[in-house]
Each structure stands twice: as C-alpha cells, then as structure tokens.
Structure 1
Amino acid sequence: MYALFKWFGNKRLIILMFGLIFFIALMGFTLGKRESMIWPEKFVKDSVSWFQGLVYRPARVIAGFFEDMHRLTVLYEENRALKQTLTRYAKDTARLNDLESQNKRLKEALGFTERQMQANEYKYRIAEVYASSPDPYNNTVVINLGEKDGIRENMAVMSVEGLIGRVQRVSPFYANVQLLTDIDVRSSSSKAIAATVKNRENESFGIIESYDREKELLVMNKIPKTDQMTKGDVVITSGLGQLFPRGIEIGTIVEKDEGEFGITHTAYIKPFASFNHLREVFVVEVPELR
C-alpha cells in the first residue's frame, strides 16, 4: 500500500514537471518573432474576443442608458436655470423700460412746471393716477392727493399737454377727477368752462358745454357772431366764473359752424391732452383762492 501511494505521488510530480516544461516551451514559441499565429492561439483569441463582445454589448447599452439619463438630467437643470434667467431678464427689462418711461415723464413734468411758473403764479401739485373708471360713460380718474394735501373740489387738473378736467370729489387721501370727456351741462354733476382764444383774450369768448364722443371733440357754444375766432386758434380758459383759472390751454379749433337760431356760432375743439393711460397729472392751485 505504501508503495502504491509513493508511485501515485511520483506520477503527479512527473505530470507537473512535463506540464511546466510544455508551458515554458509554448511561451518561448509564442514570444518569438512569427508572421502568423498558430491555430491554438487563434482559437484562444477568437474565443476570448467572442466572450468579450458578448459581455461588452449589454454592458455598453446599460452604460449608455445611464449616461443618457445623466445628460437628460443635466440638460433639464440647464433649461430650468435658463428659463429662470430669461424670466428675470424679462422682468428686469420691463422694469427698466417702465423706469425709463417714468423718468422721461418726470423730466417733462419738471420742465412743464418750470415753464408754468414763469408764465403765472399758480402752484402745480403733481399727483399719480391711482385708478380709472372702467365705465366709458363715467370718465373719471382717482389721484393720490386729497384733503390732507390741500386738495379741494373744483380745482382744475391738467397734464403736461393741457387741461384734462376738475376735481369732483375729495376724501382725506384721494380725489376723483372728472375728465373733459364727461362734460355735459345737462348733467348736474358737470360744469361748463368759460373759454377764450390765446393772444386774443379780450376779443373772443365762448362756453365749452359738452363733448362729442363720435367726433372726439369738445363743443364750445355761445360764441358771438362777430367773434373772429377761426380754425387753428388755440383755446384757453378765460378765468370767468372763477371755476377754472385763467390761461390753461385746452385745445385747437378744428371746425366752426353757425349756432342755434343763427345768432351765435359753435366751435369744435380738439383737446391737447390725451385722456387715455394717464399716469401723472397736476392739480392747479391758485394763490388768490386759498
């Protein structure tokens, strides 16, 4: 029995030695300079390449999927950041445009008040239009000045272009302004305007009593037949009646017709002021009426 185990032990040693010798010989043969591989090398190489391809394809698909998901996530974050940036840019641009427009209006208002101070002794209180009536037949706006600011009913209100109306109602901090487009002497809430022609104040006279909505023109009646006012003349407040102070520009005469019974004339006046999108207006204070 001992001899048999010894023989098997020697046999394993002999097989190991032959295997080692074959491996060394094979390495020396493959490392040598050869023009082509032998068939065992080709077989091994093809087998390994096929197995690598078998493993690599699904691995590549999986890796590509996760890479695409990562790219989509990055793209989504970039798009969201870009949208937020564009939104902020649009808001900043709108705010900048509004500030530039406001700055332009305030410069015009400053120039207007300086010119008016040289022309008369009136005090012009600038006010912001806080709200406007949505009713087309109730043409009023609300300004952010009131009794606490010395505003009283029937004070004249104007823009840099010309007269726009009068203070109709006053509360402690706000006031309602009735626009010229709402003037109608048939209404108890409306007031007529005594008017004349600029540079011919002692020669011309008329009463602005209504507003023609179709023509978008003010209607001035009771013009004496001998009055020489004509198309193109600038109409201003005359100061008579002590409601509207003297010398505020209203508009230009665009048409003159014969009035009622042929005794007087009627003139149609295109207002200087625009009554849409009012932002800042001026309440006129007359020192003599304080």
Structure 2
Amino acid sequence: MRNKRMFVLMIVFILFVAVMGFSIGDRKKLTWPENFSLDSTAFLQEWMYRPAGYVAELFKDLSNLHAIYKENEELRIAAAAYARDSIKYNFVEAKNKELQEMLNFTERQKQLYNYKYLIAQVVAVGNDPYSETIRINLGSKDGIKINMVVVTDKGLVGLVNRVDPFFSSVMPITKLSETSPDTKAIAATVLGKEKDSFGIVDNYHSDTGKLSMSKISEHDPLTKGDTIITSGQGNVFPRGMVIGTVDSSQVGDFGLTYTATITPAADFDHLTEVFVVQLPETGENAE
C-alpha cells in the first residue's frame, strides 16, 4: 500500500508540474508558488540523478580496474619472459644449437632448458631468523614441487622447501650457510664466460647483505661488475638463473683459490610477486 501511495503521489506531482508548464505560457514573470514548484522539481531531479551518476561512474571505474589488472598480469608475464630470454638467447640458445648439430640431440635434450614461469603472490614472509621462509600462494594443485627454483624478474630468490595443496614455502638464498645442512650451495659461473669461470655460492652475510662465492680458480676471468648466474651443475638450480653481480674478489683459504663478494640481484625487502621455474618433464624429474 505504501508503495502504491508513493507512486500515486509521484504521478500527481508530475501532472501538476506539466499543467503548470502549460499555464505559464509566454509569461515572463512567474508567481512565487510557480517558482517554488520549479525549484523543488529541479532539486528532486538533481537528488535522483546524482546518485545514478555516481553508480554509473563506479561501474565504469570497476571496469577500468579489471582492464588494468589484466594488463598488469600480461606485463608481469612479459617481464618474466624477458628475464628468461635475456639469459636464454645470450647463453643457452647458441650452446644448444652447437651441441645439437655436433651430437644429434634427441627431442628431450632439445627441451632441457625450455623453462616455464608460474606467477605466484607472496602471502607471508617469516621474521624468525632461525627459520626464515617465504610463503607463496601456489601449491601441489598448481604443479609446485620440492626444490623448484623461485625467482623475480631481477634474479634468484630461493628454493621451494615445503609444498601444501594450495600454498608453498620458499627457503631464500639469504639463508645460505656453509655450516647449515638445510641449505644447498649454488654452482655458479659468469655470464659470457661460462667456459672459463666456475665457483660455489655458499654463504650469505646478513650484516653486509652480500653473498660469498668460493672455490674460484686463480685463472678465472671473473672481474668486478660481472653477472653471476647458476651453472646448472649439481642438478638442483637450473642453468642460467641470475644470482647477482660481483663486488670484489680476494684470495681464499691457503692462497690456492679465490673468493668473491656478490650483491644479490633480487630485492628481498620488496617481495610481492615471484615466479616459480617449472622445468620440462623428463624421465628424471617427471612424477
């Protein structure tokens, strides 16, 4: 009944305004009741149309946000692909082509370094200095497995050390310690000098924020500013992942080998999104 009354009142009001409009005719001066009625009508129209405009703008903004989010996802994928390809085409492609021609590689061998990158969101970072881990929102349901490498578009982050159905934990390279049995040393080389350079990244110094690379030959061409990448030896860290850049090198223990100080490429203070490196399924890593 109440809705019907409101509807009837609205109809009467509209008819009243219409009749008043006809009665005004060509008069230049309106009476105060007519002015009051016209002003009231204008106010009512503004009161009705303004919220409608706000709602329309809201839907328009939501549509734009969805488009921006989709575009950002595509840009992130492109950034990951660029990070991969910058290493792949400078290092892997030429070597693979040479080996394929010389050794007549099988199709499985040709696909050995054809990595895929899965985008993951960082949902938590552990603050415990004794068990520092990074939590991501991909798990076994997404194909994540233990010891998969995690990177950003700048460089290496760490290894997956625990997998749940929908989430996984990552042990960052900032936990590298030559005395800890829980961390895995990284076989490394220098980008562009892969045939002549080799070392082991096996320690992180929290006081300086630097990594240590040891077991470097005295004849190694490693110099300050070189880009350090994973060599692929050891079957843990896939080949070609950027670790960081060389700050300095010095004589190691007993003067037989050298060590180098490495600045990590990944920014561990602002981890929001990472990429899990998925290796091609072969007879060795397929389950």
TM-score range, shorter chain: 0.5 to 0.7
For 1:114, the equivalent position in structure 2 comes to 81
Q: Of residues 181, 189, 199 in structure 2, which corresponds to 1:206? A: 199
Distance 2:138 2:67 in 1: 24
Distance 1:100 1:269 in 2: 40
For 1:183, the equivalent position in structure 2 comes to 176
TM-score (normalised: structure 2): 0.63
Q: 1:166-177 residue pairs with structure 2 within 5 A?
A: 166-177=159-170
Q: 1:260 aligns with which of 253, 259, 271?
A: 253
Asked if structure 2 preserves the Cα contact closer than 8 Å seen for 1:167 and 1:175, the reply is yes
Query: CA separation of 1:191/1:284 partners in 2, compared to 1, >3 Å: closer, same or farther?
Result: same
Contact 2:80 2:275 in 1 (8 A): no
Q: Contact 2:224 / 2:247 at 8 angstroms: preserved in 1?
A: yes
TM-score normalized with structure 1 length = 0.62
C-alpha displacement of 1:175: 0.8
Q: Contact 2:152 / 2:273 at 8 angstroms: preserved in 1?
A: yes
When residues 184 and 99 of structure 1 are mapped into structure 2, their CA distance, relative to the original with a 3 A threshold, is farther
Distance 1:229 1:148, change over 3 A: same
1:129 and 1:100, CA in 2 relative to 1: closer, same or farther beyond 3 A? farther
Alpha-carbon distance in 1 for matches of 2:266, 2:195 = 25
How far did 1:145 drift? 1.0
- The amino acid across from 2:144 in the alignment is I
Shift in alpha-carbon separation, 1:100–1:252, aligned structure 2, 3 A: farther
Q: Tell me what 2:268 maps to.
A: 275
Q: 1:238 aligns with which of 231, 243, 260?
A: 231
Distance (whole Å) between structure 1 residues aligned to residue 69 and residue 124 of structure 2: 17
Tell me which moved more, 115-124 or 101-110: 101-110
Given that 2:193 and 2:221 are in contact with CA atoms closer than 8 Å, whether structure 1 keeps it comes out as: no
| CA distances 1:100-152 after superposition (whole Å, capped 9, x unpaired) | 99778645422223322683510101111111102244331111111111111
What are the equivalent positions in structure 2 for 1:76-225 lying under 5 Å apart? 106-115=73-82, 116=84, 119=88, 121-225=114-218
When the two chains are superposed, the root-mean-square deviation of aligned CA atoms in Å is: 2.7
* Deviation at residue 173 of structure 1 after TM alignment: 1.5
8 Å contact kept, 2:122–2:274 = yes
CA distance in 2, matches of 1:201, 1:124: 24
Describe the superposition over 1:193-235 as per-residue Cα deviations: whole angstroms up to 9, x where unpaired.
0000001111100001110111111101111111110101000
Structure label with greater radius of gyration: 1
* Structure 1: distance between partners of 2:216 and 2:163: 33
Segments of 4+ moved more than 3 angstroms = 98-108
In structure 1, the residue matched to 2:56 is none
In structure 1, what is the equivalent of residue 50 of structure 2? none
Indicate the residue corresponding to 1:286 in structure 2.
279
The one-letter amino acid paired with 1:113 is A
Change (3 A) 1:102 1:212: farther
Q: Deviations over 1:152-176 (max 9, x none)?
A: 1111100111101010111122111
Question: Gaps spanning 5+ residues in structure 2: where?
Answer: 1-61, 89-112
**Would the alpha carbon gap of residues 227 and 140 (structure 1) be closer, same or farther in structure 2, given more than 3 Å must change?**
same
Number of residue pairs aligned between Structure 1 and Structure 2: 198
Taking the aligned partners of 1:100 and 1:204, their CA distance within structure 2 comes to: 46
Between the aligned partners of 2:187 and 2:272, the Cα distance in structure 1 is 27
Find the aligned partners of 1:103 and 1:253 in 2 and give their Cα distance.
37
The equivalent of 2:27 in structure 1 is: none
SS of equivalent to 1:235:
strand
Q: CA deviation at 1:277?
A: 2.7
SS in 1 for 2:262: strand
Give the direction of change, closer, same or farther, for the CA distance of 1:123–1:217 in structure 2 (3 Å limit): same
SS at match of 1:251: strand
